């Protein structure tokens, strides 16, 4: 088979060209224009929150979220070590310091270790959680819904509420994921904490090429986010600015793409889920390989598929990636742990154990929404042929 099977690419078979052409023909191509407001409103309606503020990308959204949660250079923020580095870098943009937390078997932040850290390594007084080691206040935590798998928000929100810590939901990989039971039944990823962020990067389940969205149920946080992402103008006519702002607004062309993509999101999720289930069915009979589960009490968007390998399979993680490449199949390892990256070597990391295991044993395999069943079977057969 000579066909190249990419890891995750866009699917632009809806009304994208129609909407983008309209944006060009009406000459609304920059950060003004009706599609931006329409996209914000449609996202608000889809996830059921109070409002949404568009931004250039997920990273700018997370940076804005840090600012509106009043994180300062005197503070610390609890973050996962197993995630893309863009979830953590905005902490440093502010001048604050991250504290790295381990994952559980869902690849998301371990809520038990989170609680243990807050209880054993910190003190709580005057409504502030203080790190005993550094004497700094822990102002917020960043919770990443890895690969579209919802973190345990019930336990995490209990910890956050107990210790008065703001929750920034990095839902950049998880638009469309929601709880189907429990305390947060019907709640979408990104809408449970104080503020949430989505990404529409080219590899996400829906894309605007670049672009992101900030969502919240706190209207004051949304107002502040809108202010900061549009250069902090206190008077738009006379260009009066009351603080340092940012040029983080999404363009009308990006929003036009996003609207067309959002119209197809539920179809994309069904395709992702069907292909995931096919992978899972076919791979379960291969010794040493498995596909990680998504949580039973959620409807996940099934964004990325995590193939795990152990010693019963004749190839290591890196050998699998190289072998698949020879078969015209793109795959990748999971991200390098952030606490082991050069800029973060001196930051505090709490009992990082499972993240180290998954780093060595997870391979992401093709998961595009235009992936066919024949493509899935081809990938599986290549993995079987190693035996």
Would you say residue 107 has pLDDT above 70?
yes
Would you say residue 227 has pLDDT above 60?
yes
| % pLDDT > 90, the chain | 97
What pLDDT is stored for residue 387 in this prediction?
A: 77
Would you say residue 256 has pLDDT above 80?
yes
Residue 224 sits at φ, ψ, to 5 deg, of -65, -40
| Mean pLDDT over the full length of the chain | 97
Question: Where is pLDDT greater, at 209 or 387?
Answer: 209
Is the backbone of residue 194 left (phi > 0), alpha (psi -120 to 50) or beta? alpha
Q: Given pLDDT bands bounded at 50, 70 and 90, which one contains residue 386?
A: confident
Q: Are strands 362-365 and 332-333 parallel, antiparallel or unpaired?
A: antiparallel
Q: Are strands 289-291 and 305-309 parallel, antiparallel or unpaired?
A: antiparallel
d(CA 96, CA 138): 10
Q: Are 258 and 266 in contact (CB under 8 A)?
A: no
> How large is the average pLDDT for residues 21-46?
95
Give the residue extent of every domain in the chain.
Answer: 16-262, 265-384
Q: Provide, for the chain, the percentages of residues in helix, strand and coil under a 3-state DSSP scheme, each rounded to the nearest 5.
A: 35, 20, 40
**CATH: 2.60.40.1190, 3.30.70.890, 3.40.640.10, 3.30.465.10. Which one for 16-262?**
3.40.640.10
Q: Are 259 and 35 in contact (CB under 8 A)?
A: yes
What pLDDT is stored for residue 248 in this prediction?
A: 97
Would you say residue 2 has pLDDT above 70?
no
SS3 311: coil
* pLDDT tens per residue across span 62-91: 999 999 999 999 999 999 999 999 999 999
Distance between first and last Cα of the chain = 19
Residues 6+ apart with CB under 8 A from 90: 59, 62, 63, 65, 66
> How large is the average pLDDT for residues 290-312?
97
What pLDDT is stored for residue 8 in this prediction?
A: 97
Report domain 265-384's class. alpha beta
Edge-to-edge order in the sheet of strand 349-350:
51-55, 212-216, 195-199, 166-170, 138-144, 76-80, 97-101, 349-350
| % pLDDT > 70, the chain | 99
Q: Are 364 and 305 in contact (CB under 8 A)?
A: yes
d(CA 261, CA 135): 46
């Amino acid at each position: 088979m000579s066909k190249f099977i990419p890891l995750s690419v866009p699917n632009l078979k809806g009304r994208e060209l129609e909407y983008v052409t309209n944006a060009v023909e009406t000459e609304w191509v920059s950060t003004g224009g009706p599609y931006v407001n329409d996209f914000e409103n449609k996202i608000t309606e889809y996830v059921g929150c109070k409002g949404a503020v568009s931004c250039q990308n997920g990273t700018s959204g997370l940076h804005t979220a840090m600012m509106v949660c009043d994180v300062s250079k005197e503070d610390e923020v609890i973050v996962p070590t197993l995630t893309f580095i863009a979830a953590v870098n905005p902490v440093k943009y502010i001048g604050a310091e991250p504290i790295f937390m381990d994952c559980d078997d869902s690849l998301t932040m371990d809520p038990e270790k989170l609680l243990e850290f807050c209880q054993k390594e910190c003190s709580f007084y005057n409504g502030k959680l203080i790190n005993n080691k550094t004497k700094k206040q822990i102002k917020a935590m960043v919770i990443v819904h890895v690969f579209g798998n919802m973190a345990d928000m019930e336990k995490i929100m209990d910890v956050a509420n107990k210790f008065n810590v703001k929750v920034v939901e990095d839902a950049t990989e998880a638009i469309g994921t929601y709880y189907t039971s429990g305390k947060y039944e019907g709640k979408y990823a990104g809408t449970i904490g104080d503020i949430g962020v989505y990404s529409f990067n080219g590899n996400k389940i829906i894309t605007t090429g670049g672009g992101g969205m900030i969502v919240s149920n706190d209207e004051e946080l949304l107002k502040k986010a809108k202010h900061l992402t549009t250069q902090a103008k206190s008077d738009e006519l006379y260009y009066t600015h009351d603080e340092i702002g940012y040029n983080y607004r999404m363009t009308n062309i990006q929003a036009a793409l996003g609207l067309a993509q959002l119209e197809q999101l539920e179809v994309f999720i069904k395709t992702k889920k069907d292909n995931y289930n096919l992978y899972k069915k076919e791979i379960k009979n291969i010794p040493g390989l498995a596909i990680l589960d998504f949580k039973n009490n959620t409807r996940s968007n099934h964004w990325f598929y995590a193939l795990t390998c152990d010693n019963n399979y004749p190839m290591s993680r890196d050998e699998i990636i190289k072998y698949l490449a020879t078969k015209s199949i793109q795959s990748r390892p999971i991200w390098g742990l952030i606490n082991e990256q050069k800029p973060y070597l001196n930051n505090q990391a709490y009992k990082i154990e499972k993240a180290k295991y998954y780093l060595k044993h997870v391979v992401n395999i093709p998961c595009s929404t235009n992936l066919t069943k024949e493509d899935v079977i081809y990938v599986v057969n290549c993995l079987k042929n190693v035996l």
